[in-house]
Structures are given as structure tokens and as C-alpha cells.
A and B are shown apart, each in its own frame.
Chain A
Amino acid sequence: MISAFFIFNQKGEVLISRLYRTDFKRSIADVFRIQVVSNSDVRSPIITLGSTSFFHVRVNNLYVVCVTKTNANAALVFEFCYRFISIAKSYFGKVDEESVKNNFVLIYELIDEISDYGYPQNSEIDTLKSYITTESVISSAIAAEESSKITTQATGATSWRRGDVKYKKNEAFVDVVETVNLSMSAKGTVLRADVDGHIQMRAYLSGTPECKFGLNDKLVIDKNSQGGASDAVELDDCRFHQCVRLNEFDSTRTISFVPPDGEFELMRYRSTSNVKLPLRVIPTVNEIGTTQVSYNISVKANFGNKLSATNVVLRIPTPLNTTGVDCKVANGKAKYVPAENVVVWKIPRIQGGQECTFSATAGLTSTTTRQVWARPPIDVDFEVLMLTASGLIVRFLKVFEKSNYHSIKWVRYLTKASGSYQIRF
């Protein structure tokens, strides 16, 4: 299992170092620094040198590294790394060099808690938060009581939930968040379009509620044999939170679970068929001789006019030898950013069905070595509320509890793109 855990900064300096076992010395960190951080050729997240394997995950210029001498389950080790990152995020917001330095005591406490002798332990955020706190120490009596509860909870049937939760108002919020990935060729054909979705849930429910959840997922629909329902969505793969009863899902395709208290990610899924593209971008880019490039780009919102796309940002690449760009836009603002060799066009809001246009000319200077411009793709970021690109809809969410209280359920949809909605020209 994991023998050591490190966090490195960009330069390869050790920020956090924890040895779970005695088979390594602290100097193993130098090996990683030399072999991985200073070696720009290394792309693989797993490096095996001799009998030592380094697993690393990069986040915000930090390397989160696990080292092992055994033939450990790689997926498990990576899950551990990602889990650490999400825990750290929930504890102190951003995970970067500064926050790690500011919270190093807390981090040591956390990594000691979530792993024993290199074996991953309970890493449920809500549970952790109940006994690893950032606030000052609570009075000893309560602390003793709390700690006894923790033991029963951690060893009980639902280790992710305490039994004695009480709310005046029983509410459950479901957020369906989809990220659209697109790459479109210069001719307008879709090369790749898929949706990464996750369903985030916030449950404020008393007692030990039993929830049932239904989607317009093809598997479920077919199972119910309603016969070729048109709005069925094909999900490629689903991953569930540990609270979901998988054997029930396998046999009857129902998602039933006892939710943890507070916020958690209920499931993740991927969909590759019938992806609706919320924004249609039609670029016309011409190189005029060797001294000018003209741009003509239109963006069309491809959804009902009641909805709107917000925070739309287009990054339109310019040749590397651009001297300046002259932009004309009707909506939003466009500006040449030489630091990144792009023109950034920001549109605060596009109503459904609306079309915006952009036209510009970029002046070029002559260069020594004449190179063909690589024409990197246009990158679009946006957010559309109450729309799912995959067409997924939550059909029902039922809550059963012994006390049979009434609960209020909220469902929200969001489709967004950031960094991977790309159109070539």
C-alpha cells in the first residue's frame, strides 16, 4: 500500500511529507524531484523506478504524490489522491501552494486520519468534519460524547451518516451539472461531442431517510418497457456514491440510498450520443497575403428563447507574429491579449435564438522563418441554466422515513463549458 505521501510545489520543493511506513527515507522525495519535476519529458502519472512507484496528480501547480514499494492498486491510489484534494478543498477552499502552507498542521492531521499504515480509511468529508475541526477546541464533556458517537457511526451500517440528525424543515436539493466537451472541424462536422455530468445533492433530512431516485435514463426506461420513449437518454457509464445500494441497482435499476447528511456527489455519468450543442459558432478566417488576417465569427444560441447563456467568453487565436487587432462587435467586448496570443470576446448574456457577430482584422509583421500558422481552435466558455445538453431529466425523488414527514425537493440543471468547447477553423 501507500508508503509515503508528499506534496511538492512547482519547483519540486517538499511542502508536505508523510512517511506511513519505514521502507523509505525522507530522501525519496529528491528522487521524485529529479526524475519527475525537473524532467519535462515525463507525462505519465505513474513512474516506476526499480521497485518504487510514484503516483502523482497535479492540481494548481502542486504535485500530490503517493509512493509505494508494493504492487498497489493504481486506481485506489489515485482515488486516494483525488479524495485528498476534495477534502482539502472542502476544508480550506482552494488547493494551492499558499493554502497548503497556511494549513499544514491541518493537512498532517487529515492525512493521518484518512490513512493508517498506508491503508486508506474513512475519508467522508462530513464525518471528518465532525471531529477534525478548524475551530477552537470544544469543551471536553461534549468532545467525549462526540467521540463515542464517532466510533459507533464509523463502525455502524451507514458509516456516512449519524442516526440522530434532526431538521425542522426537511429539504433536499438536486443539482444536475453537465460539462460539454466539443471539438468541431473546420468544415463544421462534429469530431467529438460528449457530456460529463454529475448530480450533486444536498440533503437536509431528519432521521435515516430512504431515498429513491429516477431519471429518464434509457436503461430504466427500457426496463419499464414503456416502448421507445423518445426522450430517453443513453448514459455510457455511471458511478455512484458509496451510499447507493449497488446490488439493488444491478437487479432492478433503481437508485436507492440513505443519503449522508449535507452535500455530496450522488453520481457521475457520461453521455456521448444525442448531445445538444447549446452554442453554434461559425467562424470565417482568411489570411490576406502575409500581412493580415480577417476574422468573421458568428455565435448562435441554439436553445429555447426563454433560457439564456451567460458568461460567454470566446478565445480567438491570432498568429504568433500579430502586431495588433482591430475588432468590431455588436454585443459584449473584444480585446486582443498579446500575452496569450488570443482575442478575448466576452458576452455577458445571449438570449436563446439570438445571434452575435464579431469581425476583426489582425496586422502581421514579417518574420525571419516563414512558418504556416497552426490555426489553433477557438475556445468557448459559457453557462446555461435549466438546460442539460444530454437531455437528462430527473423524473422523481422519493423520500421514505419512519416518521413519514413531508419533505421538499428542489431540482436544478446547469450546462457549462470551460476550456474544452473547441471549434477549429
Chain B
Amino acid sequence: MAANMRGLTQFIADIRGARVRELEEKRINKEMANIRKKFKAWCSCHAADGNLDGYQKKKYVAKIIFTYILGYKVDVGHMEAVNLISSSKYSEKQIGYLAVTLLMHENSDFLRLVVNSIRKDLDENNEVSNCLALHAIANVGSSEMAEALSEDVHRLLISPTSQTFVKKKAALTLLRLYRKHPTVIPAAEWALRLVSIMDDQDLGVVICVTSLIMALAQDHLDAYAVCYTKAVDRLHRLVIEGEYSATYAYYKVPSPWLQVKLLRLLQYYAPSEDATLRSVLHEVLQTIMNNSAEPSRNVQHNNAQHAVLFEAISLAIHLDASSPLVGTSAVLLARFISSKETNVRYLGLDTMAHLAARADSLEPLKKHQGTIILSLRDKDISVRRRALDLLYSMCDTDNSELIVGELLRYLKVADYALREEMVLKIAILTEKYANSYKWYVDTILQLISAAGDHVGDEVWYRVVQIVTNTEDLQEYAAKVVFEHLKSPSTHESLVKVGGYILGEYGHLIANDTGYSPLEQFQVLHSKSQFCVASTRSLLLSTYIKWVNVFPEIKPQLINIFERYRHVLDAELQQRACEFYSLASRPDDDEVLQNVCEEMPPFPPRVSALIGRLNRKLGDTEDKRTWIHGGKEMNLERHANSRKATLGPGSSATGTTTVTGNTDAQDVMSSLAGLNLSSPGEQSDPSRVDSSVVAPRVAVGPSVEKWFNKLIYSADGVLYEDVQIQIGIKSRYQGHLGQLAIYLGNKISVPLTSFTSTIHVNDSEALSATFAKIPPNILVPRTQSQQLLHVECKKAFSSFPILTVSFLAGAHQSVSIRLPISVTKFIEGVKLGQADFFERWKVIGGPPREAQAVFPITLDGAGQLDLVRYRQVVSGNHLEILGDVDPNPNNLVAAGVLHTSVDGKVGCLLRLEPNREAKLCRLTVRSTSEDVAAEVLRLIEKLLRLDS
């Protein structure tokens, strides 16, 4: 394209040839003047004949772009660029888009003019124009564009006529828009439609869409829950069935990028309850691990395998940290952390830290403790950092002394960038896993004197808190601090700790030789001249405490106050003056004693250190699903983030939920003992239900009729429209049931991306799972059968909902109630008259009796429709007892409800229709009041129907 623009080539050659900057500038000035002249002339008469044709415009805009890229300011040509976009020639359009994306920043006013042209290009049938437009949207990504065009981009993505490469670009454009303007995209609404593209034939499209879904699902877990099945299915097809085209195999690994993304996506969700999914997933992970058991010679092959493997291990840990899979992976990881390759070591340590963060037992890891400690001395700093994280995560009471000792030793030679973090981690570990307080004090003081500047204030605050709260420790701490202070160079933090502890507890050791008040005073005071004002004021407070407990050194102390009364620092001066007058009061005065009472213990509070540590982990890209630290820490975090997602307004800020909570824990306020997480806890449980979105159920008279019929019969049609037909065959045995769902495709094209999901409202009471992952294509004019296993655990009152979605041109989805009622799990029992009435009486009246009177219609002959009544009652699995009631019109029935959790529940029924009054009385008695009411409701509804 540039080849035939002679002017441009010449211009570039001239600029390249310019020997000095001044010449270059002159050449550019000249060219820009020429362009200005040309554009001006064009502007003034373009209505008439437009003496500047598309080619020239393209050439000049290209020159402007080149000038702009060189770093010169360009303030003409924007209008021409906008005009070029609407040109019909590809090369002109391309230059126009290039200019728009380069010259205009995202808040530029000109973008408003472009939006319409871009929309036109998006709507066009020409894929090339589509792509150019998508590029421009993704590159500029202004909020205005996002609002105006995200719908069109979405349409391109879902349109069945779009080429695969357009779909890919559209998915990535949406991803970019979502990352920049998360609010613009109705993520939840598009969820089903987007997830259905994960079944696309083309793996490239699947990769792009998966990237998009990964971003969306992180913030809308529930809306995108369908993708779990899809991801598992896709993994199964990729890894086990090898269903991929040769172009997508990278060094024999089937599309490692897609695998990694899918495995990562699965980690965002809590492990599935569905046994089928679990077993498929297990099989997939097992295969992945087996595949990578033997390292290959080829570096690329290895890389691809490892990428997938590490993600698979992470997922395995996420699913169940105690499964045998994790055991295998621990062995693999152990091999990796002593690998020769830095990248592998890094990933190995990182994944091991994940394992340590989740696993119940750290034993397998402890075997490699030596290797890990050696990694602290790795030549690569990022590996050292991971080793540090891992040690931090795998520390517990057994190995804490060893690990902390090792870290302390390493601290002295550690990289400066690493030290602050190390100090925090050592401090946390020491506090958390201390076996004895003595060890704690020793270690922390050693830490303070070793790390000096890298010790944040939180560390010494915490020491003071703990010493104050632990009485046995005080004397020992005072002694150790004193010893540390004696060394010639001490860090300021140590002076602060010393000042506080000796001030409070110095008197406990004053009688021992070598710790006399005078010596304490001299040691502490000799440090004060090297300290900043805040430390000195702390020391002054120490002195006033000593005035109280050590009368023998009072003159020296008063002397110091006297001197400090004249320092320039206002704070110091004020303290000195106040303390001076306090100390110079007569000896029998009580004020001093009262002021210098011993400090009361601090209220127990959360360590500020962890908050500080978490604040340091900012996450910018994909969320991690775990944090460093032991199992409890992860559990705690999980609870926190759970609260955060339920909390008000959290979905909008979704991306920061992990750190958000901990950020809020400001250091000072946590020291003050405030529980900042309380607002989260107040969210009431009712929100939980509302957050789980129930699909909207299809309605219609025939749907209702089919459904009601199925309530009291085992087989029949559940749903039918022009495209599909759904039929049901069911079998129940005790508390278990099996439904065969027949899905029929009535049209002549295949239904693709076929997804069926079951939504159970009350999963405590009823479980429903498919026997295997349903196929995602329904070939024309055929039927497919899916087996659904149901289990009744307790009495329940709502029907499970089956959602079927598929692509037949457009995306369609049907949700229908499944006729699984509590009565399906009832088995009839034969009872004699005496037995029946005895039980009837034992159960007694309300609340274990439910009764209703309702009108009925008579059949054509004006008689009671007894046949139907019998049918309904026995259809609900209740045994009709013939000779119990003397009135032949009355129906009496009995049954036992089988549940796996609550056991068996008896149920008795009496139906008394009255022909004259056209009324009917239905009474149900059951040992469980819930069951009585539910059975009454179900049967009454069926009987009432025809009235």
C-alpha cells in the first residue's frame, strides 16, 4: 500500500536522511504547511468538486500519522481521518482507522463523529470492515464507544453468520471493553448466550470466548454458573476424546492455552456437587497428570505440558486438597522444585504454596523443607520470593522455630526489596506459632535489631501489646530488651520497644545486679541523642514512669526534664514541662502515682500485621483463588469474600473483593480493637436466596395441563413447541427416582450448543443430577434420552426446574418445572379398618392434620367422578383402602414417604365428596406437619382443576 504512495515514501526518505534534528523539523514544518494548504483548499470547495481525491487524502493522513509517530504535535487532519473511515476502499478505510486510533485519545470530541461510521462498519456484511471497526473499538475503548457500540459488538459475536475470525475479535473486543468499563456490559443478561458459544466448532473462537467468560464469571459467578459444565465437557473432549483439529495441537499438546484457561475458570467456582461432573473432571485431571509424567526433550513441548499441568494441579487442590490426585501432584511438585529450569522451580514453589494454603496436612511438604529452604538462596530473586511465600504458608507450630530461624538468618543477606515483606512474615509467624513466649520475645527482638529500617511500626506495637497482655513474660522481656539495648548500635524501633517495656516493667528487674535503675537509665538515655523527636518523647514518658518507681534516680530525671523544657520541638517541650511539674510535686502527693498506674492489658484484637501484609498484594489481572498463609487464613478469607459478595453494592466493585476487605482494615483502627468486618455479617440470610437466580418458568395452558397430568402419572409429554419436544418416563423406588427425559428435535437442522441444567431450589431436600454430561448437539428429527437421578432427602415443596437452551439460529432457552413432587416418593401401604383408624387417631388433629373444603363439579350424568378421584389419589402413590369408610363415595388412602435423611413419614388421607352440596372435604394426616400440608396442597390442586 505504501509502495504506491510516492509522496509518502519520499517524505519518509527525506526525514530519515536528515542529518540533524533541525533539518528534520524544517522538513516536517514544510510538509505540514503543504498539508494544511491542501486540506484548507479541500475544505473550502469540497462541496463543489473536491480537488482532493481519496488517494491524496489517504496520502496526507498517512504523512500526518508518520509525523505524529515521530513525536511531533499534530493538530490538523483529524476531520480528514474521520472522513476516510467512511470511504469504501479498504486501503483508505484502513489509514483512516489507523489515524483515529493513533491520533485521538479516548476523551477526544472527534470520537463522537466516528461512532456512527464504526457502527456502519460493524453492521456491514464485509468481515474486513468489521475487523477494522472492532480493532478501533478495542484500541480506543472510550466509555462513549463502549456504551454506544457494545451491543453491536455482542451482536457480531453471537451472530451465526459471523466468520470465525470476526467472532474471535468481537469476543476480545468485548473483553477489553469489559475490563475498561465493567458497568457498560450487561454481563448477567448475556451470560447464557455467551456461554453457549463455548460449544463453537472452532477452537480459536472458544479460546477467545473463554477469556471473555473468565473475566465476566469472576464478577458474576452465579450468572455464569452454566459455564462449569461446558468447561468440564470441553476439557473432556479435548483431553480424553482428543476432539480437536491438528492445527490446534501445539507440540502435541491439544491447545494448551484453552486448557489452561478452562482449568483456571473452574477454579473460580466452588467444587461441583454433581457426581458425574466430578468423576469426569477427575478423569481429565488424571489424564493430564499421566501425560506429563515423563518430561520430553523438546523445550516447547515441556513448556506447554507444564503450563497445563500446573493449572491442573491447582484445580485438583482447589477441588479437594486431600484427594489421591493431590498426593500424586505433591510428588510431581517435589520433583519440580529441584528442577534445573528457573521457570519450573518458580511455578513449582508457587503451586506448592497453593497446596500448603489448602491442604489439611503439611506432612508431604515438610519432607521437602530442606529443598525449599535452599531455594531461599536461589540466584533468581523471584524464585526466592516464592520460596519465602511457601515457607510462610507451610509454617506451623512444629517447624516454626526452624523456619523462622532460617528466615532470620537469611534476612541478614536478603535482597533489600524482599526485606520488608520478610520482616512482616517473620513477625506474623513468630506470633502465630510461638511455642513459648520467651522464644517469641527473643525472635522479635532479634528481628528488630537485624532488620532495622525494614521493620514497620506495626511490629513493635504488637510486641508491646503482647508483653503487656502476658504477665509471665514481662520480667523476661525487660531483661532481654535491656541486654539488646546494651549493644553499641541499636535501631530506633528497638529503642522504642526498650523505652516502653523498661518504663512499664523496669521495676520488676531493678533488684537484680546489673539491672539497677541507674544502669537502666544510663543505657536508655545514651541512645536518646540519636533518635528522632517522636522516640525522644516516648523516652520522656518512660522517665516520668521511672520518677514514680525509682525515687533514687529522680534528680537525674528531673534534670533531663529541665533541659528538655527549652527544646524547640513543641511536642517535646510540652511533655517536658508537664512531666517536670508533675515530678516536682511533693513526695506525698498521689497524682504522680495515679498517673503512672501500670497499663491495663489491651483488649484482644486482630493482629495488624496480616492486614499490612495483605495490603501489599495488589492484584491487577486474573484473581487468585487463594492467598499465602495456612489453611485457616484461606478459610477466613473465603468467609470474608463471601460476606463481601453478599454485602450491598459489592457486585459493582467486584474486581477488588479479595483485597477490598482487608484494605479496609486500617492499621490504627484495628489496633483500637474495632471489628470492621461487622457490616458484612449483618447481611441477612434472605439475601442468599435472592442472589441465586431462579430461571423464569415457561407458562401456557397446555404446559400446565401436561404438567398436572404428569404429577399423577409416570410417563407423558412435558413440553412441546415447534422446535423441540420434551417427554418424561419416570420410575421411583423408595427415596430414589430415575427420570428419563426425552428431548426431541422437531426441525430439520441440528440444535447446537444444547445445554440442559437442573435448578433445585432446596438442594438440602432434593438432589437431581444427570447421569452423564449431556451431548451438546441434537441432530435433526431425532430424540435423545438423558437420565436424571433424583434423591429425596427431606420433605420439599417446590418443583425442580429444567432449563434447556440451544442454538437454532438464535439462542433459545426453555425452562419448565419437572413433575417431581413429594408424593412421588410415597409408597402405598395396605391397612385394615382398625389399623387405619387407630393410626388416624394417634396422629390427631392440627397441626399434624391438614384439611380443606372446596367445590367440585359433577360429571355429565350429575354424578361424582369417582373414577377420576381414585386415579388422582393412586397416581400420587397412595394406596386406596377399600372397606374402611362406610360411605362408598368416600375415599380413604394411606402411604409412607421415604426420605434418605428424615427417614419414613406416614401419611393418611380421607376424601369426602358431597354430591348435593357440590363440595368436597379433603383431610390429610401425617406424622410430619409439612408433609400433610404438602400432600393436601398437591391433591387438592389436582381435584380442583376441573371445577
Contacts and interface: CB of A to CB of B under 8 A. Distances in A.
A368 B39 CA distance: 13
Determine the main DSSP class of B at the interface with A.
helix
B34 interface: yes
A369 B27 CA distance: 23
A323 B26 contact: no
Interface string A42-86: 000000000000000000010000000000000000000000000
Interface string A328-356: 00000000001111000000000000000
B76 A340 contact: no
B75 interface: yes
Contacts of A341: 29, 33
B40 interface: yes
B110 A339 contact: no
A363 interface: yes
Given A338-B30, A339-B29, A61 B76 contact: no
B27 A338 contact: no
Determine the main DSSP class of A at the interface with B.
loop
From A322, A338, A371, residue with most partner B Cβ within 10 Å: A338
Contacts of A365: 36-37, 39-40, 43, 76
A9 to B, nearest CB: 10
B491 interface: no
A387 to B, nearest CB: 33
B36 A368 contact: no
Contacts of B37: 323-324, 365
B30 A321 contact: no
From A341, A366, A367, A368, residue with most partner B Cβ within 10 Å: A368
B67 to A, nearest CB: 13
B921 interface: no
B76 A368 contact: yes
Nearest to B39: A365
Interface size class of A (residues with CB under 8 A): 10 to 19
B870 interface: no
Contacts of B76: 321, 365-368
B78 interface: yes
Interface in B22-63: 26-27, 29-30, 32-34, 36-37, 39-41, 43
A341 B32 CA distance: 10
Contacts of B41: 323
Contacts of A324: 37
A61 B20 contact: yes
Nearest to B77: A368
A420 interface: no
A322 B29 contact: no
Contacts of A366: 43, 76
B33 A340 contact: no
A200 interface: no
A392 B34 CA distance: 48
A69 B33 CA distance: 50
Interface in A354-411: 363, 365-369, 371
Nearest to B31: A338
A10 interface: yes
Contacts of B75: 321, 367-369, 371
Contacts of A322: 33, 36
B33 A338 contact: yes
Given A368-B76, A369-B75, A338 B40 contact: no
Interface residues of B, number: 19
B109 to A, nearest CB: 9
B215 to A, nearest CB: 34
Contacts of A340: 26, 29
A323 B39 CA distance: 9
Given A61-B20, A365-B76, A321 B26 contact: no
B39 A339 contact: no
B40 A368 contact: no
A338 B20 contact: no
B30 A10 contact: no
Contact of A323 (B20, B29, B33, B110): B33
B27 A321 contact: no
A369 B36 CA distance: 15
Interface string A137-148: 000000000000
B233 to A, nearest CB: 52
A210 B731 CA distance: 135
A339 B19 CA distance: 16
Contacts of B39: 365
Contacts of A368: 75-76, 78, 110
B26 A339 contact: yes
A339 B27 contact: yes
Nearest to B34: A338
A322 to B, nearest CB: 7
Contacts of A363: 40
A316 to B, nearest CB: 15
Nearest to B32: A338
Contacts of B33: 322-323, 338-339, 341
Contacts of B78: 368
A32 B34 CA distance: 39
B27 A323 contact: no
Contacts of A61: 20
A339 B20 contact: no
A336 to B, nearest CB: 8
Nearest to A342: B29
Nearest to B109: A368
Contacts of A10: 19-20
A368 B78 CA distance: 7
A340 to B, nearest CB: 7
B39 to A, nearest CB: 6
A386 B19 CA distance: 40
A324 B29 CA distance: 13
Contacts of B19: 10
Contacts of B27: 339
A323 B41 CA distance: 9
Nearest to B74: A368
A229 B26 CA distance: 52
Nearest to B110: A368
B549 to A, nearest CB: 55
B60 to A, nearest CB: 12
Nearest to A40: B21
A407 B39 CA distance: 69
A160 B229 CA distance: 99
B30 A323 contact: no
A186 B434 CA distance: 80
A368 B33 CA distance: 15
A369 B108 CA distance: 10
Contact of A321 (B34, B36, B43): B36
Contacts of A369: 75
Contacts of A338: 29-30, 32-34
A421 to B, nearest CB: 21
Contacts of B40: 323, 363, 365
B809 to A, nearest CB: 45
Interface in A297-333: 321-324
Contacts of A367: 75-76
A367 B19 CA distance: 30
A323 B76 CA distance: 11
Interface of A: 10, 61, 321-324, 338-341, 363, 365-369, 371
Leading 3 A-B pairs by shortest Cβ distance? A338-B33, A339-B26, A367-B75
9 contacts: A322-B33, A323-B33, A339-B26, A340-B26, A341-B29, A365-B36, A365-B37, A367-B75, A367-B76
Given A323-B36, A338-B34, A340-B26, 19 more contacts: A10-B19, A61-B20, A321-B36, A323-B33, A323-B37, A323-B41, A324-B37, A338-B32, A339-B27, A339-B33, A340-B29, A341-B29, A365-B36, A365-B43, A366-B43, A367-B75, A368-B76, A368-B78, A371-B75
